[in-house]
């Protein structure tokens, strides 16, 4: 029997996977993971990904909605950062029952953390 909490986790997982199931969003998320806590401005991200700013804006909105990234206003700039807690929650959910519930190399890896 599913609980309300498991329904919420499943819903968040579907949102995250849906957001990552598009090439430009996956590339943008990966770039933000690499950038760590410093994050990236939309201009720098557009330049790195060689994508038009208008298209990038749409993709960033979807990633924010999924909870995989956050956006912070810093002066006149927006800074986008990967949400490492949400990423690790997604990975934990996806690997929770791997190897028939036994310890395996996937579940033994260190959680990715921001470089604080």
- 92: CB partners within 8 A, 6+ apart: none
- Measured CA distances, 107 to 57, 78, 88, 92 (Å): 34, 34, 11, 8
Identify the CATH class of 25-96. mainly alpha
Asked if 37 and 115 touch (Cβ cutoff 8 Å), the reply is yes
Q: Where are the domains of the chain?
A: 25-96
Identify the three-state secondary structure at position 3: coil
Per residue in 24-83, pLDDT (tens digit) is 999 999 999 999 999 999 999 999 999 999 999 999 999 999 999 999 999 999 999 999
Place of tokens 């430009």: 24
pTM to 2 decimal places: 0.82
Name the token pair of 90.
Answer: 């997604």
Q: Alpha-carbon distance 37 to 98, whole Å?
A: 30
Q: What does the DSSP 8-state code read for residue 69?
A: E
Per residue in 80-97, pLDDT (tens digit) is 999 999 999 999 888 887
Q: What does the DSSP 8-state code read for residue 115?
A: -
Q: Say yes or no to pLDDT of 104 above 80.
A: no
**Residue 5's pLDDT band (boundaries 50, 70, 90)?**
confident
> Residue 8: its pLDDT value, please?
83
Asked if 87 and 114 touch (Cβ cutoff 8 Å), the reply is no
> Residue 87: its pLDDT value, please?
95
Q: Say yes or no to pLDDT of 111 above 70.
A: no
- Bridge partner list, 77: 74
């Amino acid at each position: 029997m599913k609980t309300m909490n498991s329904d919420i986790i499943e819903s968040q997982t579907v949102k995250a996977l849906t957001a990552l199931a598009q090439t430009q969003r996956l590339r943008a998320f990966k770039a933000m993971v690499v950038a760590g806590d410093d994050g990236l401005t939309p201009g720098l991200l557009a330049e790195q990904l060689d994508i038009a700013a208008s298209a990038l804006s749409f993709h960033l909105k979807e990633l924010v909605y999924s909870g995989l990234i956050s956006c912070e206003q810093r002066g006149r700039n927006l800074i986008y950062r990967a949400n490492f807690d949400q990423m690790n929650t997604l990975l934990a959910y996806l690997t929770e029952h791997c190897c028939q519930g036994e310890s395996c190399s996937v579940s033994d890896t260190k959680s990715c953390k921001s470089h604080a």
